[in-house]
Structure 1
Amino acid sequence: MKKIAVFVSAALLTSTASLAPLPASASLPTEIFNQSMPSLAPMLEKTTPAVVSIAVRGTQEVQSRVPEIFRFFGQQEQGPRERPFQGLGSGVIIDAKEGYIVTNAHVVDQADEIQVTLKDGRQFDAKKIGQDKDSDIALLQIDANELTAIKVADSDALRVGDFTVAIGNPFGLGQTVTSGIVSALGRSGLNIENYENFIQTDAAINSGNSGGALVNLRGELIGINTAILAPSGGNVGIGFAIPSNMMNNLVSQLIEYGEVNRGRLGVSGYSVNSDVAKAMELDTNQGGFIQEVEQGSAAEDAGIQAGDVIIKVNGKSVKTFEEIRGKIGSLGAGKKVQLTVVRDGDEKSFTVTLKKAQGDDIAAERIHPIFQGVELENQSSGILVKEIAQNSPARRAGLQVGDVIRGVNRTETDNIAQLKSFFEDNDGMAVLNVNRDGRNLFVRIQ
């Protein structure tokens, strides 16, 4: 190789020496200077202000382990203890007026302090509106002016090979931009989250990019960067992002309820592959084979049967059962979804109204201990008290089934998320403004 390098260098020197120098008055053609170079800079100048850095602090419980040899001498386990932690991540401004910022749940989980730094250097303390660990999405809010929000694209329109740009804060270096393509769609079965429907990209994503933006060449948000496949601990060109449509569905629920009110289809099954297709004599090699339909479920009500193969969700093709689960899992209870199935060689379409997933009832006691044993529901007129357990604190305080909570301490509360936000910011005694059978009254809680 060294010989080749020397030969080439000599050839270049000989060739250069044979060239006559340009006259002083000579110049390159003007069209070369007037021609614009391809660049992502104009798009990034408009988009990057919507991507923020996030720093968190908090404490977490750790179990103190005593080695076996010391237990022999009578030393006992000390039990859990608190240990401080801090971390870095990224976020994306999706609503400039309200100051809403989307990030990953694992970035802000258990954080006592959340500080957001904008691209222009301004720093703000953020409030966590809600999070969903199962899909790794969290929603923050800051009180700030002159924010730039990102435009959200339709992630269902993505194709493998589309160009991508990842924006985030890797390793705490500050805002960083990398580029690549969509390597795959509908990635699942990675055991990263409970609901997986990832965009895979080869744009470099590293530690600290979590919660950052994956955008297209128009600067529109197509995904929230969330994970990497890193056997060596560094980037190997396999990163994963939560699709923007899935993020949108989850965030709308966090805004309305303060948590995800997940819908449920009520089927079990597995992914179709060539072996399954051959054994079951199916005409398709992909999709979700339905093994069982639960009695009284949304799927049964719509007419879906065991043996059906789901091949499309809302008109978009699906490859695996896990992808179907991810798409359905991001939709809220009561939402309608169009499913296309193959049954006996024919395609059939069903409109399914999702039911509330078991165990996903709004945990009212998380709002305030007074609501332990209470089921709340958002309505256009306020927050309806649907159920109250016998001998519950709320019943003793004077709340009744059918009451509609409209405010607390003379602060109007239109939904459960606002009620939860109030108690996060206020301690001590509170007075609920309640409408009961058309009459307004006040219920004191403490």
Structure 2
Amino acid sequence: MKSKLSLLSAALLTASLSLAPGLSQAAIPIAVEGQSIPSLAPMLERTTPAVVAVAVTGTHVSKQKVPDAFRYFFGPNAPREQVQERPFRGLGSGVIIDADKGYIVTNNHVIEGADEILIGLYDGREVEAKLIGTDSESDIALLQIKADNLVAVKRADSDKLKVGDFAVAIGNPFGLGQTVTSGIVSAMGRSGLGIEMLENFIQTDAAINSGNSGGALVNLNGDLIGINTAIVAPGGGNVGIGFAIPANMVNNLVDQIIEHGEVRRGVLGVSGRDLTNELAKGFGLNTQHGGFVDQVMADSAADEAGIKAGDIIVSVNGRNIKSFQELRAKVATMGAGAEVKFGLIRDGDKQTVTATLGETSQTTETAAGAIHPMLAGAALENNKKGVEITDVAQNSPAAASGLQKGDLIVGVNRSPIKDLKSLKTKLVDQQGAVALKIKRDKSSLYLVLR
């Protein structure tokens, strides 16, 4: 009975795979000993050569202030800072996206701070890689190698993914060598996790572990649907909750890096929040998905397109969005100058407007409100000593909080912060009032956000 049930299950899965829309003939199960059983082997034979191992070496440099008493003991020429250097090694994965030019995509956190990047190809060759460019806020890096007989992965349209689609993760977990795991797409548009500044993740239950970062998430045709990036691991191991950066988001970022050598961030010029049940009821809306616009910056792309405060943006280029965070991630990775169609609801009526995105590099004007509602209206920029307030819109929540242009955020409560990512990480789990430590001119003060 057990064998009959197994054969029946195999036959049913074979039938479902053969009927799946868009599935290539090569992905259909093969025959083994006269029985047709499902196998991903034919697809993987074509796809796995495009996934590489990434080994990095570098040196972490840390600086520690020397206490005044120590400096007094050793005289006026004693150093003010103590510099420590600590060598490090790291392992990750990458995906070849252009065989002719040798382009490889991986995560920024895999190669960050590396002095040397070595690529391990599927056939055993090792090649040194050149860093072309990175985007720390979305955690993408582009590398390039010079080698013959490379195999590139074909990229899919990740906007067409649906929950329940099959997904296969390929990478190099724990330095074991190339490993394949399978699962499904568990969710789309995951954000607000505090992992990256720009979040619009594909969630999957395909097993992803340390070393899988930068590897491929593919569909049953072997087409790239995402770059594996992070996991939720309460106990330190895989629990079936992994996240990948969508292929379309990767495409936009890579194209900008290749063309400009950097990411030229697109800016819409709005601040807002997720559409909650309370907001939806207050506006008499049936939908509970979208981004609620709190404020539109003067002379911004949104202002010129006719977007107004109180609008609910529900789609980008015809694709529905779930949250303001997803809207922010899509806009920021499309690139300056892109023409984008936004579907919105105003006074209960559906409208479509077209906006030409503005440009910024590291400034994240639209990100401020997503980090904390009372930062909305502030333009934030990474500074060597913290996060600088480069502008504050009049009558905005940021202005009401007491923030001023030129302020430098250096801490949250009693914890220091060094950049936008650490600021977001500190604020994401805070409940109730929170105190920002600010350096203004030559003095320090605390501002409370409620």
TM over 0.5: yes
Task: Say if 1:279 and 1:40 are closer, same or farther in 2 by CA, change over 3 A.
Answer: same
Q: Distance in 1 between matches of 2:330 and 2:191?
A: 11
Q: Match for 1:260 among 259, 263, 280?
A: 263
> In 1, are the aligned partners of 2:284 and 2:348 still within 8 Å (CA)?
no
Distance 1:72 1:204 in 2: 56
Cα displacement (A) at 1:359 = 4.6
Output the CA distance in 1 between the equivalents of 2:136 and 2:48. 26
- State TM-score, norm by structure 2: 0.70
Aligned partners of 1:306 and 1:226: how far apart in 2? 34
Residue 294 of structure 1, CA deviation: 0.3
Give the number of aligned pairs. Answer: 331
State the alpha-carbon separation in 2 of the partners of residues 37 and 227 from structure 1: 32
Is residue 2:56 matched to residue 1:56?
A: yes
Write the distance in 1 (CA, Å) between the matches of 2:361 and 2:124. 44
Distance in 1 (alpha carbons) for counterparts of 2:311 and 2:247: 29
1:213 corresponds to: 216
Q: Gaps (5+ residues) in structure 2?
A: 1-30, 365-450
Out of 324, 338, 351, the residue aligned to residue 327 of structure 2 is 324
| Alignment of structure 1 residues 104-183 onto 2, 5 Å | 104-183=107-186
What residue number does 2:360 align with?
357
Q: Deviations over 1:44-66 (max 9, x none)?
A: 01000000000001112123477
Please say if residues 261 and 360 of structure 1, whose CA atoms lie closer than 8 Å, have aligned partners that are also in contact: no
TM-score (normalised: structure 1): 0.71
Tell me, in whole angstroms, the C-alpha distance in 2 between the residues paired with 1:339 and 1:73.
65
1:236 aligns with 2:239: yes
CA offsets per residue over residues 285-326 of structure 1, 9 Å max, x none? 110000100000000111111110000011011110000001
The amino acid that maps onto 1:57 is: T
- Superposed CA deviations along residues 410-446 of structure 1, whole A, max 9, x for unmatched, are xxxxxxxxxxxxxxxxxxxxxxxxxxxxxxxxxxxxx
What residue in structure 1 maps to residue 37 of structure 2?
A: 37
The answer to whether residue 279 in structure 2 is matched with residue 276 in structure 1 is: yes
Instruction: For 1:342, give the aligned amino acid.
Output: I
Question: Where does the alignment leave 5 or more consecutive residues of structure 1 unmatched?
Answer: 1-30, 362-446
In 2, distance between residues paired with 1:93 and 1:358?
26
Could you tell me which amino acid in structure 2 is paired with residue 61 of structure 1?
V
Once the two structures are overlaid, the 10-residue window that deviates more, 66-75 or 81-90, is 66-75
Q: Distance in 2 between matches of 1:32 and 1:70?
A: 75
| Secondary structure at the counterpart of residue 303 of structure 2 | helix
- Asked if the contact 2:108–2:135 (Cα under 8 Å) also holds between the matched residues in 1, the reply is yes
Structure 2 match to 1:435: none
Question: SS of 2:220's equivalent?
Answer: coil
Match of 2:337 in 1: 334
How far did residue 82 of structure 1 move? 2.1
* Aligned residue identity for 1:241: A
CA distance in 1, matches of 2:351, 2:338: 20
The aligned amino acid for 2:281 is K
Whole-angstrom CA distance in 1 between matches of 2:69 and 2:214: 44
Quick one: which amino acid aligns to residue 55 of structure 2? A
Using the TM superposition, give the Cα deviation of residue 83 of structure 1 relative to its aligned residue in structure 2, in angstroms.
Answer: 1.6
1:191 is displaced (CA, Å) by 1.0
One-letter code of the match for 2:54?
Answer: I
Please list every run of at least 4 consecutive aligned residues from structure 1 whose deviation after the TM superposition is greater than 4 angstroms: 64-78, 358-361
- Kindly report the root-mean-square deviation, in angstroms, between the aligned alpha carbons of the 2 structures: 2.2
Q: Percent identity?
A: 63
Separation (CA, whole Å) in 1 of partners of 2:322 and 2:331: 14
Matched position secondary structure for 2:36: coil
Structure 1 Cα separation of the partners of residues 264 and 341 of structure 2: 19
Give the structure 1 partner of residue 404 of structure 2.
none
User: What is the Cα deviation at residue 279 of structure 1?
Assistant: 2.8
1:334-386 deviation digits (Å, cap 9, x = unpaired): 0011100001111100111001026569xxxxxxxxxxxxxxxxxxxxxxxxx
Which letter does structure 1 place at the counterpart of 2:329? G
- Counterpart residue type for residue 212 of structure 1: G
| Structure 2 residue aligned with 1:344 | 347
How many angstroms apart in 2 are the aligned matches of 1:87 and 1:308? 46
